[in-house]
Every structure is written in structure tokens, then in C-alpha cells.
Amino acid sequence: MVRRIRVFVIITLVIILLSACSANSESNTELTISAAVSLKEPLEIIKEGFEREYPHIKLRFNFGGSGSLQQQISQGAPADLFFSAAEDKFEILIDEELIMNEFNISFLENELVLIVPKDNPLKVTSFQDLIHNRIDYVSIGTPETVPAGMYAKEVFKSLGIWNKVEDKLVYAKDVRQVLSYVETGNVAAGVVYRTDAMQSDKVSIMETANSNDHSSIIYPVGIINGTKHAEAAEQFYHYLQESTTIEVFKYHGFLIK
């Protein structure tokens, strides 16, 4: 009888342990957020606060150019949320019914700036200076896939200098690569978001583009239709809009729409 009781207790304990492991596995969720690389610093800080408040949810970021991320999602790459640096890339996913209608919002804005290496060896002071013969290379993001590159092209066209700078352009996969090219002195100047320039002590901002010379730089975020983690995705979606989170974005130079 004693032996049977012992066997019963052991079996019961095993069942409890297996159930606990199963419950723990189900409660731990990993969200994948495809986000514009210009959001990297604030999102890494926001991640720490969110995971402290929701310890059962882990965040994994896929940073890149908004156009490339949009293409990945359109082609079926796994993602739970998309945080874009351009409305047109976001609208493509809405048209494809890949963004949930009830969970998408635009609340951040940014500015476009002309940057140069800290020592500014070629003495660039404005967008107009880029047409001078002394300026060899200028970097912008690839306009088709990097919103900042698209905005830069719009500025050059608005200023009437596109045809004079086009042959000097060094295209980059995202704004951080543009920043790197300028930091290392591989180009005389580059065009990035103000928030990116703020991350480096190796570059100087020479001019801010007039907002009338380019499309509005707006950051929409939304939950991907068909996400397997809808509840967790909604929690992070709402967390992004809380006042303490907004302060993190503002600290990193973003404007609140």
C-alpha cells in the first residue's frame, strides 16, 4: 500500500511539473516588430520598460529601411507589428489588408537634415553647396526603399539641384549607413533624419530641410493582420502611446504629431 501511495505521489508530481512547464511555455510570448532603423535607440529603451511591466512578453526588433521591411511583410515574412518611417510604405500594407484597421496610428514626426563630418573638410554649409565642383560624394538612402532617401530626392528637386547632384550620389541601404559614410569621411555630406544625426558626435548638422520641400515625415505603426499574438501585440501597441513612452521619443528628437 505504501509503495502504491509513493508511486501515485510521484506520478502526480510529474503531471504537475509537466503542466507547469506547459503553462509557462504558453505564457511566454515573443513579438517581432519590423521597425524603421531610425527608431532603434528609443525602441531599445522602450523595450526595457515594456518587458519589466510585461515579463511574459519578449520583444524582438527587425530594423531596416521601411521599404525593405514592407516588402518583407508583403512577401510573408513573420511580423506582429510594423513601425514605418513613411506613410506610403504603410499604406501598401493597408491596401493589401495586412494591417489591422482598428490598430494603426500615426503619432510621430521627424525632420530631414544635411550632415557633414565633424571637421567638415570641404566646407559644406548648405544644400546649395552640394552643387559645387569641390564636393565629390554625397550620400542618401536609396529612394525606392529608404524613405529618407525619397525625401532627400524631393528636397533636391524642390531646390532645383537634383540634376547637378545626381551623379555625386552614393546610395545607402538605410539612414544609418548614410550616417556611417559621413562619420568616416567617405562622403562630403549626407542627408538623414535629425534623430539619426543626434546619435553621433562625429557629424555636424549644417541645415534643416524646409518642410515645404518634401513630403511629411510621419511614422505610422500598426498590428499585422493575422498575428498569432494579438493580445500581446495590442498591449505593446497601446504601450507605445503612453505618456512615459512618448517622452522617450521626444528625448531622442522625435516630434509628436
Amino acid at 45: I
Q: So where are the chain's domains?
A: 30-109+217-256, 112-213
Residue range 61-84, pLDDT digits in tens: 999 999 999 999 999 999 999 999
Q: Is 193 flagged in the annotation as binding? A: yes
The pLDDT tens digits for 165-210 are 999 999 999 999 999 999 999 999 999 999 999 999 999 999 999 9
Q: Is 77 annotated as a binding residue?
A: no
Beta bridge partners of 30: 58
Tell whether 23 is in a known binding site: no
Is residue 197 annotated as involved in ligand binding?
no
Write 167-170 long-range contacts (CB < 8 A, 24+).
168/130, 168/135, 168/136, 168/137, 168/138, 169/137, 169/138, 169/139, 169/140, 170/137, 170/138, 170/139, 170/140
Q: What percent of the chain clears pLDDT 90, i.e. is strictly above it? A: 89
Phi, psi of 209 (to 5 degrees): -65, 140
Same fold? 30-109+217-256, 112-213: yes
Cβ proximity of 82 and 219 under 8 Å: no
Output the nine-digit C-alpha cell for 143.
Answer: 529612394
What pLDDT shows up at residue 131? 97
Domain 30-109+217-256 carries which CATH code?
3.40.190.10
pLDDT value, residue 7: 39
- The CATH fold of domain 112-213: D-Maltodextrin-Binding Protein; domain 2 (3.40.190)
Using 50, 70 and 90 to split pLDDT, how confident is the model at 257?
A: confident
Task: Give the pLDDT band of residue 19 (cuts 50, 70, 90).
Answer: very low
In the chain, what percentage of residues exceed pLDDT 70? 89
Predicted TM-score of the model (pTM): 0.84
Q: State residue 139 phi and psi, 5-degree precision.
A: -110, 140
Q: pLDDT tens digit string along 207-220?
A: 999 999 999 999 99
Residues 6+ apart with CB under 8 A from 88: 147
Least confident range from 14-23, 57-66, 156-165, 242-251: namely: 14-23
pLDDT attached to residue 27: 63
- Going by pLDDT thresholds of 50, 70 and 90, the confidence category of residue 133 is very high
164 vs 253: CA distance, rounded Å:
31
Please state, in angstroms and rounded to a whole number, the distance separating the CA atoms of residues 185 and 131.
Answer: 18
Per residue in 87-122, pLDDT (tens digit) is 999 999 999 999 999 999 999 999 999 999 999 999
Ligand-binding annotation for 38, yes or no, is yes
Question: What pLDDT band is residue 52 in, cutting at 50, 70 and 90?
Answer: very high
